[in-house]
Amino acid sequence: MTTSGIRRSARLFASALALTPLIAEAGWDQLNLTRGVTPYSETVYDLHMMILWVCVVTGIGVFGAIFYSILKFRKSKGAVAAHWHENTLVEFLWTAVPAVILVVMAIPATKALVMMEDVSKSDMTIKVTGYQWRWRYDYIGEGIHMYSGLARTSDVARQLNSGIDPKSVENYLLEVDNELVLPVGRKIRFLTTASDVIHAWWVPALGWKRDAIPGYINESWALIKEPGVYRGQCAELCGKDHGFMPVVVRALPEAEYKVWVEKTKAEQAAKTAGLAQPATAAVAQAN
Amino acid sequence: MSQAATHHDTHHEAHHATGITRWLTTTNHKDIGTMYLVFSLIMFFIGGSMAMIIRLELFQPGLQFVNPQFFNSMTTMHALVMIFGAVMPAWTGFANWLVPLMIGAPDMALPRLNNWSFWILPFAFTLLLGTLFMPGGAPAGGWTMYPPLVLQTGEAFPFLIFAVHFMGASSIAGAINIIATVFNMRAPGMTLMKLPLFVWTWIITAFLLIASIPVLAGAVTMLLTDKFFGTSFFNAAGGGDPVMFQHIFWFFGHPEVYILILPAFGIASAIIPTFARKPLFGYSSMVYAAASIAFLSFIVWAHHMFTVGMPLAGELFFMYATVLIAVPTGVKVFNWVATMWQGSMTFETPMLFAIAFVVLFTIGGFSGLMLGVTPVDFQYHDTYFVVAHFHYVLVTGAVYALIAGTYFWLPKWTGHMYDEKLGKLHFWLSTISVNVLFFPQHFLGLAGMPRRIPDYAVQFADWNMVSSIGGFVFGASQLLFVWGIVKCARGGEKATAQVWEGAHGLEWTVPSPAPYHTFSEPPDASTIEGGMR
């Protein structure tokens, strides 16, 4: 190798290194699927990694053979072409082996799907209704309901040429006015539907998305294992503000959740009462 | 019959129309092929400009250039223009030029239908692109046209529907013509199992078109009556079913994706043996694999809609059928690799694009396999992971094969060699930038970025910027492609009849450029080894 060649390789290597901090800074969670916080999301993550590795290994084999051929069987190196163009055994093997790998992969995939579709024995039910462009949540049996739309801070910043730097807005586009508060440790059944066009309710940490379709009520479930705030977005194109209807789930420990339910119930009851007697409410507010 | 055709051709040549009349009235497969290819190149740049607007808006978070409604119009129109305007007409253009030359026929079986099927297209796209200037804007509900959203389209709505009808009519006419040509006009001795794979994959594609396009026509007609005539096919409030549209659409839509990619398999199977100087490995298994893929394409449609809430049995069936496609697709990839193995390879531009096609299409195949696994698709669905997947199979798949095929047959079409240095520059710029453009989109999707959004949360900013830079370079690189084609059409080193040392097949037996009329006397194809070579 000539000196200039080495220098060129070194420069190439240096520029490759320069990319590494970008990847490191981005972090694993910006490169790969989340593991999530439900039994289902963990199953999905494991399944995802398994298929990914199957693809990576197959890719190394196939691409390895291609690059080996490119280097080895080139005319400029004096390679002379062989004339064979069939081999029954090889052709049988590369039909049968992938088929067997697929069957092996299908077993855990089937189990995961059976798990996801089993919504029986749930501890509570949340009805999710999609609107252009916000969500409505009904806590079935609790009498609590709320609308949840994009937080004001994000809504101002996301206007065309708003002049506000999105990076200065906390949880830009992933913040709502009313969060969906849920308990940890309970099997929660979700019923999704919509009132206008099709939407899709998605929180990656729960491990799934489900379409919200007018005229349909879809069932799904989640059992959140850890308290925390989990963010997601509408995942089905639903018109101009499709990108601006986030989902925020706040998972609370059972005791805190119960307190929240009682408090919210009381608030909503007061509000309903207030609506029934607007004059009194106005006076009470003035005082 | 053959004598009559010969007589007609000589007569026709004597009174050759000139100027614009020639192109309006031509029934010559080479003229029509050229018109299809030029048309698709124009559409490629119109669709590409829309992609540039999309990547420009996504360059950084916040809205800087367009409003969300226009952004949605851009994603919708980009898809419609690229699928129906760029890739499908390009394949029909290739078929027009090459199928008669490859099977030793004097022209297509139905030349007047051929003229008509091309000339429908400019009208179709005038209707479609005209919607950009209409009140309410261009269609913005996605190219998949899902109701109820698509019914919110403004005045553009009926124009969209009729444009789709026109494109469909054009495709069906083209498909009928290709089937009629291949089944009736093969030279003596050109048996079916000697056909070049490009012809085989096109016959299969033509059957897919005839079977699937009328289904699309039905679906969009139901949309039209729902909107204007008070029907409730897809309106839940009227007893209809919005999910039924998705089933019908994807019953068309999945075969459609193979319509876009099967001829690409044929191109790769023509180019790789030529530059490896070795016969294609597993010719018959290639034919059977293409046919299996085509069959499977009709029973996997619901994998595009796993999240609509199907019964468990349905989800399992569509998962199994979908991952099964990996088997025949794998066979094709392995066959191409085996063709290169122990060959004597050179790396002219067509070969470079063909090898990149095999590698990058396979990456798209891997992500396709991942998407086919239903429980995981509940995460991937409608994210940028899907966007990365279908751009790997359509851009580095279908479009790369189109580019490879263009460089490969350009000397036959123009009679000149293209500029090899320019071709290689085009290849390297495209291949590096296309990966910078689409590979990070896998990361974005996995990290949770939904598709079809004009603005995004700030954690997606880095990879979107990288992707946009790749997009701008890739877009600009395609100007080199046009330059190369124009340069080659205008002059350059004279091409021989065979053009490439390793080229085999009937199209390489006629002079370059191919004369206006070829095979007026059918060649004796019994001596040709055909696709088996």
Asked if residues B294 and B255 have their Cβ atoms less than 8 Å apart, the reply is yes
Q: What gap in Å lies between CA A81 and CA A102, rounded to an integer? A: 34
B74 to B56, B78, B79, B140, B223: CA distances (angstroms): 12, 6, 8, 7, 21
pLDDT at residue number B19 = 83
Which residues make Cβ contacts (< 8 Å) with residue B309, sequence separation at least 6?
A192, A210, A211, A213, A216, A218, A219
Please indicate whether, in this complex, the C-beta atoms of A213 and B316 are within 8 angstroms of each other: no
Residue A215 is nearest to which of B242, B278, B456, comparing CB atoms? B242
When scoring A131, A197, A199, A247 by the number of chain B Cβ atoms within 10 A, the one with the most, hence best to mutate, is: A197
Is A26's CB within 8 Å of B448's CB?
no
Is residue A138 helix, strand or coil? Answer: strand
The tokens for A227 are: 């308290």
Q: What is the rounded CA–CA span in Å between residue A126 and residue A121? A: 14
Tally of CB atoms within 10 A around B530: 23
**B469 reaches A (C-beta below 8 A):** no
Give percent of chain B with pLDDT exceeding 90. 93
Which residues in chain A have their CB less than 8 angstroms from residue B67's CB?
160, 240
Cβ density class B340-366: b for 16+ within 10 Å, e for less: bbbbbbbbbbbbbbbbbbbbbbbbbbb
Within B19-87, where are the H helices?
Answer: 19-25, 29-57, 68-80
Rounded distance between C-alpha atoms, residue B481 and residue B433, angstroms? 15
Contact A229/A250 with Cβ under 8 angstroms? Answer: yes
Joined together, the tokens standing for residue B163 give 């444009």
Q: pLDDT digits over B208-234, tens only?
A: 999 999 999 999 999 999 999 999 999
Tokens 């290169």, residue located: B340
Asked if the Cβ–Cβ distance from A113 to B66 is below 8 Å, we say no
Is there a catalytic annotation at residue B256? Answer: yes
Consecutive sets of 10 residues in chain A, 287 residues long: mean pLDDT of each? 50 52 60 94 96 96 97 93 90 94 95 95 97 96 94 95 92 96 97 97 97 96 97 96 97 97 92 67 45
Q: What percent of chain B has pLDDT over 70?
A: 96
Do the bridges between strand A208-212 and strand A180-183 make them parallel or antiparallel, or are there none, so unpaired?
unpaired
Look at residue B20 in the predicted model and tell me its pLDDT: 87
B332 part of the active site: yes
Reported as a pLDDT band with limits 50, 70 and 90, residue B201 is: very high
Looking at chain B, how many residues does it have?
533
Average pLDDT over residues B11-24: 72
Answer yes or no: are the C-beta atoms of B393 and B365 closer than 8 Å.
yes
Do residues A210 and A200 lie in contact, with contact meaning Cβ atoms separated by under 8 Å? yes
CA distance A262 to chain B (A): 33
**Could you tell me which residues are beta bridge partners of residue A210?**
A201
- Using alpha carbons, select from B249, B252, B243, B250 the residue that is nearest to residue B310: B243
Q: What angle do CA A24, A26, A30 make, to 5 degrees?
A: 125
> Which of the pair, A186 or B10, is modelled with greater confidence?
A186
CA distance B160 to chain A (A): 17
Q: Is B329 a catalytic residue?
A: yes
**In A32-72, which ranges are continuous DSSP H helix?**
39-72
At B524 the pLDDT is 83
Name the residue among A180, A125, A170 with its Cα closest to residue A149.
Answer: A180
User: In this structure, are residues B125 and B58 in contact, taking their beta carbons and an 8 Å threshold?
Assistant: no
Q: Residue A29: CB partners within 8 Å, gap ≥ 6?
A: B447
List the one residue out of B116, B110, B117, B113 whose CA is nearest residue B5: B110
B196 closest CA partner among B257, B111, B268:
B268
Closest CA to A47 of B212, B369, B69, B468: B369
Contacts of A260-263 with C-beta under 8 Å, sequence gap 24+, read A260/A181, A261/A139, A261/A142, A261/A144
Q: Residue B310 pLDDT more than 60? A: yes
B258 is catalytic: yes
Helix, strand, coil content of chain B in percent (nearest 5): 75, 0, 25
The order of strands in the sheet holding A246-252 is: A180-183, A246-252, A228-234, A199-203, A208-212
Q: Which residues of A touch B529 (CB under 8 A)?
A: none
Among B58, B244, B300, B378, most A C-beta atoms within 10 A, so best to mutate, is: B378
CA distance B526 to B529: 8
Question: Closest partner residue to B448 among A52, A91, A204, by Cβ?
Answer: A204
Model pLDDT, residue A29: 75
What tokens appear for B349 in the block? Answer: 């531009």
> Strand A218-223 vs strand A187-194: parallel, antiparallel, or unpaired?
antiparallel
Task: For residues B373 and A105, give the distance between their C-alpha atoms in angstroms, rounded to a whole number.
Answer: 9
Is B269 designated active site? Answer: yes
Which of B376, B450, B532 has the CB atom closest to A235's CB atom? B450
Q: What confidence score (pLDDT) does residue A15 get?
A: 53
Quick: pLDDT tens for B56-76: 999 999 999 999 999 999 999
| pLDDT band at residue B8 using 50, 70 and 90 as cut-offs | very low
What is the least distance, in Å, from the CA of A252 to any CA of chain B?
Answer: 23
Per-residue pLDDT at B501 exceeds 50: yes
CA distance A107 to A110: 5
Residue B506: name the closest of B88, B168, B97, B72 by CA.
B97
Interface ipTM: 0.91
Residues B351-381 pLDDT 10s: 999 999 999 999 999 999 999 999 999 999 9
Per-residue pLDDT tens digits for B94-133: 999 999 999 999 999 999 999 999 999 999 999 999 999 9
Q: What is the mean pLDDT of chain B?
A: 94
Given CB atoms, is B314 within the 8 Å cutoff of chain A?
Answer: no
- In this prediction, residue A194 carries a pLDDT of 97
pLDDT above 50 for B55: yes
Query: Between residues 150 and 169 of chain B, which touch chain A (CB distance below 8 Å)?
Result: 152
- Per-residue model confidence (pLDDT) at position B157: 97
Beta-carbon contacts of residue B319 (< 8 Å; ≥ 6 apart): A106, A109, A110, A113, B303, B372, B373, B374
Interface test with A, best of B64, B149, B235 (most A CBs within 10 A): B149
The dihedrals phi and psi of B511, each to the nearest 5 degrees, come to -65, 165
Chain B closest-CA separation from residue A127 CA (Å): 15
Residue from B153, B170, B406, B518 carrying the catalytic annotation? B170
State whether residue B465 sits within 8 Å of chain A by CB. no
Q: What is the CB neighbour count within 10 angstroms for residue A215? A: 17
Would residue B490 show up in a list of annotated catalytic residues for this protein?
no
State yes or no: is B201 an active-site residue.
no
pLDDT of B4 strictly over 70: no
Question: Which string of DSSP letters, residue by residue, matches B372-432?
Answer: HSHHHHHHHTTBHHHHHHHHHHIIIIIIHHHHHHHHHHHHHHHSB---HHHHHHHHHHHHH
Strands A228-234 and A199-203: antiparallel
Helix, strand and coil in chain A, % to nearest 5: 50, 20, 30
State yes or no: is B303 an active-site residue.
yes
pLDDT at position A4 is: 52
Single-letter residue type at B83: I
DSSP string, A63-74: HHHHHHHHHHSB
Contact B344 A209 (CB under 8 A): no
Q: In chain A, which residues have their Cβ closer than 8 Å to the Cβ of B450?
A: 202, 233-235, 243
Give the pairing of strands A124-131 and A199-203.
unpaired
